[in-house]
Structure 1
Amino acid sequence: MHSALSRRGVVVLVAVCLACLMFGLEISSIPSILPTLERVLQADFKQLQWIMNAYTIAVTTVLMATGTLADRYGRKRIFLISIAAFGLTSLICGVAESVSTLIIARFLQGMSGGAMLICQIAVLSHEFQGGRERAIAWGWWGIVFGIGLGFGPIIGGAIVAVSSWEWVFLIHVLFAVLALVLTASGVHESKDPKAGSLDIAGILTLSLSVFCLVFYITQGPDLGFASPGALAILGASIASLIAFLIAEKVSRRPMFDFSVFRVRPFSGAIIGSAAMNLSYWPFMIYLPIWFQAGLGYDSVSAGLALLAYTLPTLVMPPLGERLSLRYRPGLVIPAGLFTIGVGFILMKFGSAAAHADWLTMLPGCLLAGIGLGLTNTPVTNTTTGSVSSDRAGMASGIDMSARMVSLTLNIALMGFILVEGVQASLRGTLPGVTDAALLRPLAEKIAAGAVISPEQNISGAIIHAALVDGFGWVLLYGGVGVWILAGISFLIFGFAKPARA
């Protein structure tokens, strides 16, 4: 790397890769500590979901705005601000003494993380503009991003095992300080004199729509899905979505230019983005719960078992890229999605095996990871490569927004399905307990991996069976859902050659 890059180039690349590592770890390392947070902070199941969703919703709110702000006020300046904010919010997360404080801090951390993600892409694009050094820089960025996402579970589990859950957040304070020093000393300032104005209406309406829909899914069982309050929240989500569509239609500089959806390769790839985040990524939140509560592993063993799920996503992208060049993305993306679905169905059978363990889960975990690895890079390349270069940034923003919105919604949906599956199982095995007010809190505790007190007189076999049933429904949802979207993606791609908008 040193021979191809200047000394300053190495400094810039290390700074960007540190920021990239922080962003990836804060998505993938947190699921492995959720059982610990449930126990230490007395977090209930819904609060565990919001610890994840607060981050992803916040990322979505700043994605499109940050690019415009960075172009106008300076990419280095906004990058420095976002790194500092990420370090500060990570510190707040690490010293949080209540779930409410942690959720609020996670939202602020997500905003700074989303800004940091967009800025690091802008900095890389400006600092490494061509030739071999650009290929090296982007290659290392992709590797580090993959390490952050792929090794996050084992890193989170290991930190909890040797220290405490707080250091899963506090370690980013140290990373942020180092990234600040390197960025300040190495990155050149750059601006775009033609930068447009912020699409405030689009940002606010899309964020409000997603937030209200997630709130409806997570709080609906308590409020009653058909209650006036819940329906009002759902109505606010729908109204905000309609307002977003209108705002984008009338805006001179819309956040989303919907005309790009007329390009079939772009639309087919966006369906691929949504499909990966309907199945693979949201299930990463719940898989550690299965390994720990369902199979009885400690946090480190659960993190090691999760490597079968995440490692293929690091080694398969080069093959996915080669296959995409040879057979076109319209075949590779749906095939990768179909492979994820096969992995989910195999995990469903593996979790229901008589003597379930990591070996019975291994084939499904590997196949799901292989499918994700085959799909991810072709999706990104197709969304940006199927439109003209001046719209590539906007196309990338739509792709990232589709991923974050889909991830946020499906974290909530998978949690709802898991609890409903556990509750249905308990209703069948505990006929004496029919009161939903008693049964649902019990189902939520089991779904979160909480230890059930002996006073409740429920055997371990019943609890395990309920957990198996709940996860079976979640895996069925992920498998069938990604198959349906794979079919839709294939049909949208059609057999037309890629066109540019």
Structure 2
Amino acid sequence: MTILLACIGVFASYLPVVGVSVALPVIQQALDASTAELQWVTDAFILPTAALLLTCGVLGERYGRKKVYLAGLAVFCAGSLLCLSAQDVVLVCAGQALAGVGTAALLPSTLALIGHVCPDHRVRARAIALWTASLGLGLTLGPIINGVIVEHLSWRWIFLPALVIGAVVVVVGAFLLDETKAKRAPHLDVPGQVLAVVTITALVYAVIEGGSGDWSAAKVVAAFAVAAAALVAFVTMELHSSGPMLDMRLFGSRVFSGAAFVMGITLFAQVGLVFALSEYFGLVHHASTLDIGIRLLALNGITVVLGPFVGRLMNRTGPGPVLVAGLVFGGVGALCVCSFHASTGTANAALLIAVLGIGIALALAPITTIAMNSVPRDLAGTAGAANSALRQIGSALGPAVFGAILTDRTVAALPGHLASSGLGPADQGKVGGLVSNVGIQAGAFLRLDTPAATGRAMSAYGASFTDALHVCALVSGIGMLVAAGVAAVVIGFRNHAPQDAARPAPAQPTVPVAAADHG
């Protein structure tokens, strides 16, 4: 029952993630939102999730994983309710942020609960594979469910299914879940938490604002400077803290450092490319929210289908070989997107995206298993929090960076495609000015005086956007292939069981995080 409730909680929290992304064109038209505002709709959820995961993991270890899990679900439901009643972009972002806070609490708690009830590493690997499949199921069904809702109701109702499921699990879990805590209660690291929030928020803010405006603008430069200063202060403080939020000595382990890099790059590449593909289908193909969800089934649905298989495969070969194979598949699949053009058919697109989906399905469960097996079982919440934090940091930077690439490259490529489109100078100037001022979302309402002129303008816009998509695919594919190389060299291919007793010796007995080297 614990594994089931943990999986349902993760499923509910991930229903709106891609579901909201594919509904962005509808939200943009309903709320008259800019490209930067739409990126904040996504990142408003991811940012607090990434920034608060480590602290929420400590809270679970200290006060009880069941309490933190149920509290997280309750806060997530409150955020969904706020989004459901929102009348402008600011309130949608506020609701998304509140839901992100709740997700930050429930993610490490679910992994900790699974780790507690599954002491055997083989059983734990299968349970984590189911956990990953549940996450993938939320990513898969979210766009489909939201597509049906948007087709028949207001976009606001896309937040209702997750709200209902979360509320039911809170009630059921209050009666059926057992409470667990760490044997040694770790300390809270308030200064570290504040600096982590400042670092992540400033970095993502700089990328979003720079990509939608001017990289040399004072506010963008200042945000990058704040992020860099906060990061240095965070590392320095964590190194000297008696109870750090993230024990920096973990990065003395080659395997832990490699796993951290691989997790961040994988989620950056995956979520960023999903964001780019959602925009491509919506703005170039003018697909409905439901159609976008169906097209992305080839990516997220495979995670669900392969989930049980991946768990058994890890038990036979170890997580290392499965991880490397997944990253290679994912990198090749991402590079296949470079073959897309403005009129690529749904079947061809789905076939190429499926290669990326296979890679992601093979990669996510092994890297999570490696993280969970790297610490003693009573610190499973801390391991889950660190794993999920890296997952969410990559997820936050993905839409920000890829959104900036899409805007910059589309605007840069547009003049050339307009020049060869057959449009007159006046119409070329009108289209170029609209895209420059509004951003890539101009494709949703690009109209000229005649249908023929509109068709030429849309063709030029579609070709420009597809050029930008190719750059995103290159960044994603190369990133995953580099991550595959790092995983092969650093994590290796040997099958390692968890080493509960082996971990770096902390300077003080209250240090909450330690890891075994699986190299």
Q: TM-score range by the shorter chain?
A: 0.7 to 0.9
Superimposed CA distance per residue, residues 370-401 of structure 1 (whole angstroms, 9 cap, x where no aligned partner): 01111111111122224454555433322221
What is the alpha-carbon distance in structure 2 between the residues aligned to residue 331 and residue 468 of structure 1? 34
| Residue 352 (structure 1) aligns with | 341
Asked if structure 1 preserves the Cα contact closer than 8 Å seen for 2:299 and 2:357, the reply is yes
- 1:3 corresponds to: none
Within-5 A mapping of 1:17-416: 17-126=7-116, 141-192=131-182, 194-221=184-211, 224-349=214-339, 351-352=340-341, 355-389=343-377, 392-416=380-404
Q: Higher mean Cα deviation, 380-389 or 365-374?
A: 380-389
Q: Which amino acid in the other structure matches residue 446 of structure 2? A: I
Aligned letter for 1:405? Answer: I
Distance 1:194 1:266, change over 3 A: closer
1:179 CA displacement: 1.8
Which region of structure 1 is more displaced relative to structure 2, 326-335 or 36-45?
A: 326-335
Cα distance in 2 for residues equivalent to 1:138 and 1:356: 36
State the AA in 1 paired with 2:440: E
Partner Cα distance (2:124, 2:376) in 1: 20
Task: Go from structure 1 to structure 2 and tell me whether the alpha carbon gap of 1:114 and 1:147 turns closer, same or farther (over 3 Å shift).
Answer: same
**TM-score (structure 1 length as normaliser):** 0.88
In structure 2, relative to structure 1, the CA distance for the partners of 1:50 and 1:490 (3 Å cut) is same
Q: Secondary structure at the match of 2:138?
A: helix
Q: Is the 8 A contact 1:16 1:179 kept in 2?
A: no
Flag the 1:326–1:135 CA change in 2: closer, same or farther, 3 A.
closer
C-alpha separation between the residues in 2 aligned to 1:227 and 1:405?
Answer: 24
Preserved CA contact (<8 Å) 2:108 2:388: no
What CA deviation, in whole Å up to 9, does each residue of 1:388-439 have, x standing for no partner?
5455543332222111111111210100111111101212234666899765
- SS in structure 2 at match of 1:316: helix
Q: Does structure 2 retain, via aligned residues, the 8 Å contact 1:255–1:394?
A: no
Give yes or no for contact 1:272–1:333 (8 Å, CA) kept in 2. no
Change (3 A) 1:173 1:150: closer
Question: Counterpart of 2:462?
Answer: 464
State the 1:221 CA deviation: 4.7
Cα pair 1:75 1:191 within 8 Å, conserved: yes
Q: 1:346 touches 1:361 (CA, 8 Å); kept in 2?
A: no
- In structure 2, how many angstroms separate the alpha carbons of the residues matched to 1:330 and 1:41? 46
Residue identity opposite 1:112 in structure 2: G
Instruction: Measure the CA separation in 2 of the matches of 1:78 and 1:120.
Output: 10
Distance in structure 2 (CA, Å) of the matches to 1:75 and 1:329: 26
Unaligned residue ranges in structure 2 (runs of 5+): 420-424, 500-515
* 3-state DSSP of counterpart to 1:252: coil
Unaligned runs of 5+ in 1: 1-8
Aligned residues: 487
Give the direction of change, closer, same or farther, for the CA distance of 1:373–1:127 in structure 2 (3 Å limit).
closer
RMSD: 2.9
Contact 2:328/2:480, CA 8 A, preserved across alignment: yes
Q: CA deviation at 1:38?
A: 0.8
The residue type equivalent to 1:73 in the other structure is Y
Higher-RCO chain (CA-CA 8 Å, sequence separation at least 6)? 2
Identify the range of structure 1 (285-294 vs 425-434) with the bigger mean alpha-carbon deviation. Answer: 425-434
> Which range is displaced more, 13-22 or 276-285?
13-22
User: CA distance change for structure 1 residues 171 and 452 in 2, over 3 Å: closer, same or farther?
Assistant: same
2:435 and 2:139 map into 1 onto residues whose CA distance is 36
Deviations 1:331-373 (A, max 9, x none): 4323321211111121220x227x4111221232011000111
Does residue 452 of structure 1 match 2:442?
A: no
| Larger CA deviation: 364-373 vs 150-159 | 150-159
Q: Is the 8 A contact 1:29 1:153 kept in 2?
A: yes
- Does structure 1 conserve the Cα–Cα contact (< 8 Å) formed by 2:61 and 2:382? no
Aligned residue identity for 1:47 = E
Are the equivalent residues in 1 in contact too, given 2:323–2:366 (CA < 8 A)? yes
The sequence identity of aligned pairs, in percent, is 28
Q: 1:492 aligns with which of 485, 490, 493?
A: 490
8 Å contact from structure 1 (residues 268, 330) kept in 2: no
**Separation of aligned partners in 2, 1:370 and 1:268:** 22
Moved more, 292-301 or 248-257: 292-301
TM-score, normalised to structure 2, is: 0.85
| 1:278 and 1:482 in contact (8 A); partners too | no
The residue identity in structure 2 corresponding to 1:373 is A
